[in-house]
Amino acid sequence: MHDGKVEVQIWLTENSASVLDELRKAGFEPAAGQSPTRTLVGKLPVEKLQALAQMSEVKFVSLVRK
């Protein structure tokens, strides 16, 4: 965890502009250079994890393993 944020990987049911907008509103910061797939990596404030997990388009959330 850095600056109150965790690096997460998110599996989605769909990856559209509206879903990405919802994720950003929840505080998600996508990593640069990702191709448009149903799996995203990025940073998220720890306190927003529960809200992210409650989104219907989110199938699974995991910490990124390095």
Q: Tell me: the pLDDT tens digits for 6-49?
A: 999 999 999 888 999 999 999 999 998 877 789 999 999 999 99
CATH topology of domain 5-63: Alpha-Beta Plaits (3.30.70)
pLDDT at 15: 86
Angle at 46 between CA 40 and CA 47, to 5 degrees: 120
| pTM for the model | 0.85
Which residues are bridge partners to 63 per DSSP? 8
Angle at 1 between CA 42 and CA 15, to 5 degrees: 15
pLDDT at 45: 95
pLDDT at 3: 86
Domain ranges of the chain: 5-63
